[in-house]
Chain A
Amino acid sequence: MTQIIPAEGIFALLWVLIALPAVGAVILLFGGRRTNSWGPYLAVLTVVGSAVIGVLMLLALMDQPAEQRTVVQNVYDWVFVGSFQASFALQLDQLSMVFVLLITIVGALIHIYSLGYMAHDPDRRKFFGYLNLFVAAMLILVLANNYLLLYVGWEGVGLASYLLIGFWQRKPSAAAAAKKAFIINRVGDVGLSLAIMLIFITFGSITFQDVFGQASEASEGTLTAIGLLLLLAAAGKSAQFPLQAWLLDAMEGPTPVSALIHAATMVTAGVYLIVRSNAIYNAAIWAATAVVVVGLITIFMGAIIGSAKDDIKKSLAGSTMSQIGYMVFAAGLGPIGYIFAIFHLLTHGVYKAGLFLGAGSVMHGMNDTVNMRRYGALKGLMVITFITFMAGYLAIIGIPPFAGFWSKDEIIHAAFERNWIIGAATILAAGITGFYMTRMVAMTFFGKARWEDDAHPHESPPVMTIPLIILAIGSTFLGMALLFWGNIETWLEPVTGYESVPTPLPTAFYIAVTLVVVVIGAVIGWVMYARKEVPIEAPRGNVLTRAARQDLYGDAVNNVLVVQPTYRTAEALTTFDTKAVDGFVGGVTSFVGDLAVRLRRSQTGFVRSYALSMVGGVFIIVLALILVRLS
């Protein structure tokens, strides 16, 4: 059993990790124009600072024996109501460690990249403020030691993503995309809130230690419920089916945002959540199965969408969905999968960031065209971008020795250990990946130039290319590094547990099959898009293509199932409110008014009628008196 070590030495700085970017965000956002000049650099510094601390902590953590690598720092008591106690407490263990590094390092690189990419944007101060906000929130998310605090980070990154997707708010499409992202995530949040509540009333606590310590004691039904709720949350954050619709629109945001938030880090929070809660899924087999199914569906949705999009960023977004599908899928496989989910998450974080930044670099040179049909033959003009992009390309399609190969291969392997059908499915998906990535590369860098007339492509400035290079190196070697030098299994094993089941066939066989399928996919892609002429106008395409261009009708479905009904209800209720509820009030008053108008007629002004009513009154009174007596 892992034991907690106090937050001393370098670990005392745990809170600083978050504080640095948070302070940066505050300064930039509230500091106003006077910070315009130096603000962005400050932002970069804070993140770099966090990254440095993170690395130091990694080293310190490595010094510790394996079972003593969980640090908890209780910053202060946060929400204490009766038996419900949520501290602002941070927990650093092997799992959060790797996330800290991913976030801070990739974050730092992207900050630097943005210095160039956003150089000419009037609001870049805000941009960097938001980025800092995001890093801070994301660090809270992965460092929280209880679910409620995790929720804070969870929602914080959501906010940052909302702000950054809608960064160019004057574009209505951007504003709409931002709103969509937030609201769909909100659906996921419902899942998270309910999960937290259910966890609390089941375990009487919401800290990870207590919950996982007692997970086995709770009934499987409850655990399944919790698991499914957490899956809902994860699906929202990680754009998994059925809450995938927002991610493609999210590409409205600036490219560095897409790289950092919607490829490398935030969208993987769902995976983190599931892996973090492994104790629950281990005990709730049906929840785990649901995770697998969701992952599998999303793998294919993403891949298909990615194959059909002409917008390079959307195509990448599709592939992100698909890759995260892989991670979720792996996380669903249970102890054999958790580690590789994280492994893939790390490699993907690096190479997908590289790919996005590369795409950004291309757009930068093609004055922000995203339509790949207007690219082509750029390999000569953007050498660095091209090379780094190829590194990412080989990584994602999983060609050895590039990073993606190791992680994805492990997942496929694990899939086969569970069940050969899903294993086959993952291999097929890998093939599709090969297809659409090849398509992307071919359309962008090879073939003939199909540029717009005013386009004169050029390589991006060093401030942008250097991060590309670093990420490219990562895409190339990270897989091996983690696997052989960092031996990630043993590193994560204390947190996630690990079990390996022997597979019927030798590992080499799966690798071979996978590679063959991938290559086939790649070749098809090459033949279709490098050999043949790519029309500038997209051909009508077959049913699947058209569906994929419509994001497989995700929006249409949401519209019919959710949005329209909601607005119709709203209108109906509004009418009801004015007509019925308020109308009732008005009705009563007007009724009394009419009554008054009628009754006042009784006041005829004729003495004799008054006298008559008096006589009547006397009779009534006397009669009443007698009746009362008789009764």
Chain B
Amino acid sequence: MNFTPPSIDYFAISPMIVIFAAAVVSVLVEAFAPRSTRRFLQLLLVFGALITSLVLIILNASTRTLTAGGSVAIDGPALLFQGSIVILAILGVGLMAERSIDPVGDAFASRVSALPGSEEERQFTQRGYLQTEVWPLTLFAVLGMLLFVSANDLLLMFVALEVISLPLYLMTGMARRRRLISQEAALKYFLLGVFASAFFLYGAALVYGYSGSINFSEIAQTISSKPSESIILLIGIGMLMVGPLFKIGAVPFHQWVPDVYQGAPTPVVGFMAATVKIAAFGALLRLLYVAFGGVRWDWEPIIWIVASASMILGSILALVQTDIKRLLGYSWIAQAGFILVGLAAASPAGLQSTKFYVISYGFATVGTFAVVSMVRDSNGEATNLAAWAGLGRKSPIVAAALSIFLLGLAGIPLTSGFVSKFLVFVAAVEAGAAWLVIIGVVASLIAAFFYVRVIVIMFFSKPTEQTAVVAVPSAFTTVALAASVAVTVILGVMPQPVLDLLTNADVFIR
């Protein structure tokens, strides 16, 4: 049998190529550049690569093509997701690059291999070593995400999933402070992650077995052509869903979320909470809409159940949290549920609402974690809410910014969160799932309670002696924070342009 190399539209995939190249180079920089220059070079590289790829994505705006033998789809949704991932990555990287908040440097352990609390570690810290392995890892993760949202066959999707995950596992364990929980988080994230991807892979195998192909388009054709009563297919779909759902943090694949949120370095959480979620939803959308659109009547109920469970469980569990990062972890779960409500509609409206929601949520998240990383006491970040009492009086601006994000997450009008919820509910009602909206309403009330609780703590209670202080950040965090606020408000007040953008980019190429 003769092998014809698939034609590749290099321009279409150039955004990914750029990131990939940068990642490779940055590994070399790690290896060869002198320590003093590394940080500078790495930042140059990272920001350069991200911005370049953003430009390329914009240049590609009108590209609608399947390339690399139909395994990579560059279409509206893909580009949209890629674009937002890159933008959020830039902001997230900004958080990671921040080094003026913590007196001894950035948020990462000066040498991860050093034992926590050991003499060795102390010396590294004294010498002010800063490890920069985080940058190549970041770039690889971004690359994975860009691939994930445009992957059009099961294999590429699996690979992309791993390329996202592996760097993140490591980055999770790199916290400078509270290293024990950081490492624990890494371990949990890793074990559960690979466990999930194993399910994904086996599901892929089954689907392949059913359809004889790993390409989404062909799978879709087989499903429409073959009378699809095959049990294998159903099991396959079920297991396939585990991968993205795990990354999304939907119930019942959610339990890693709070632990990782609490353990991982705050900038990393900000980075991945925003970007990974977009990537995962992008992939899930493509998987369900393109490959399994034919059997939507089978998977829609599943998504409904998962969505309701996530909304309710996430909101309720967040009620009793005392650690802001953990609280936000649970709130992620709840939000995931809301987004799934839109996704379950399996309609253009559903697609649009999902996209709008993840993007607006991404910005709100980055902003929130920017604030969290700035609130500190004597030993690092003050994540315990007790330390936030009266913050609103000590530094009103930051507190106000956080309040905007929280109100946004709670879905108060004039914030992006409200428009998102609104779109999602519209989609659900149009799809005839009004009862889901009712559940959503109840859940958002419960959710509102704990978001508001944070505001209460910040504004309505007097500062105590253990109230944390807000560190003065450098431009990196400031920009990230400002940008997030701006987007959160603009998307809330003037969503029309973005909605137009989404409508232009709402067709999956098959």
Contact = CB atoms under 8 A, between A and B. Distances in A.
Interface of A: 592-593, 595-597, 599-600, 602-603, 605, 607, 609-611, 613-614, 616-618, 620-622, 624-626, 628-629
B301 A613 contact: no
A182 B389 CA distance: 53
A624 B241 CA distance: 13
Contacts of A621: 238, 241-242, 302, 306
A599 B313 contact: yes
Interface string B423-435: 0000000000000
Nearest to A602: B255
Contact of B191 (A602, A611, A620): A611
Residue with the greatest number of chain B CB neighbours at <10 A, chosen from A600, A610, A625: A625
Contacts of B256: 610
Given A603-B255, A616-B252, 7 more contacts: A603-B258, A614-B196, A614-B253, A621-B302, A624-B302, A625-B234, A626-B234
A607 B319 contact: no
Nearest to B189: A607
B119 interface: no
A592 B192 contact: no
B320 interface: yes
Contact of B301 (A593, A600, A628): A628
B187 A607 contact: yes
B237 A625 contact: yes
Contacts of B191: 607, 611
Given A613-B255, A617-B252, A626 B192 contact: no
A12 to B, nearest CB: 60
Given A624-B305, A625-B298, A625-B302, A600 B188 contact: no
Interface in B188-226: 188, 191-192, 195-196, 199
B229 interface: yes
Contacts of B439: none
Given A607-B187, A611-B195, A622-B239, A595 B316 contact: yes
Q: Which 4 A-B pairs have the closest CB atoms?
A: A617-B252, A622-B238, A610-B255, A625-B234
B297 interface: yes
A603 B317 contact: yes
B201 to A, nearest CB: 13
B253 A617 contact: yes
Q: What range describes how many residues of B lie at the interface? A: 35 or more
Contacts of A614: 192, 195-196, 199, 242, 246, 252-253
A289 to B, nearest CB: 62
B477 to A, nearest CB: 30
Nearest to A611: B195
A602 B255 CA distance: 9
A629 B228 CA distance: 10
A607 B185 CA distance: 10
Contacts of B252: 613-614, 616-617, 620
Counting chain B CB atoms within 10 Å of each CB, the highest count among A600, A609, A621 belongs to A621
Interface in B168-194: 187-188, 191-192
B187 A622 contact: no
A619 B301 CA distance: 15
A610 B258 contact: no
B237 A610 contact: no
A585 B302 CA distance: 33
A260 B299 CA distance: 88
Nearest to A624: B302
B446 interface: yes
Nearest to A625: B234
Interface in B234-289: 234-235, 237-239, 241-242, 246, 251-253, 255-256, 258-259
Given A599-B313, A628-B297, A629-B298, A610 B242 contact: no
Contacts of B192: 607, 610-611, 614
Given A610-B255, A616-B252, A593 B302 contact: no
B231 interface: yes
B238 A618 contact: yes
Contacts of A592: 316, 319, 446
A618 B188 contact: no
A622 B238 CA distance: 5
A626 B231 contact: yes
B284 to A, nearest CB: 13
B317 A596 contact: yes
A603 B299 CA distance: 27
Contacts of B317: 596, 599-600, 603
Contacts of B301: 624, 628
Contacts of A605: 259
A625 B242 contact: no
Contacts of B446: 592
Contacts of A629: 229, 234, 298
Contacts of B238: 618, 621-622, 625
Contacts of B246: 614
A347 to B, nearest CB: 71
A42 B50 CA distance: 90
B320 A628 contact: no
B242 A618 contact: yes
Nearest to B238: A622
Contacts of B306: 621
29 contacts: A592-B446, A596-B316, A596-B317, A596-B320, A599-B316, A600-B320, A603-B255, A603-B259, A605-B259, A607-B191, A609-B255, A610-B192, A611-B195, A614-B196, A614-B199, A614-B242, A614-B253, A617-B242, A618-B199, A618-B239, A620-B252, A622-B235, A622-B238, A622-B239, A626-B231, A626-B234, A628-B297, A628-B298, A629-B298
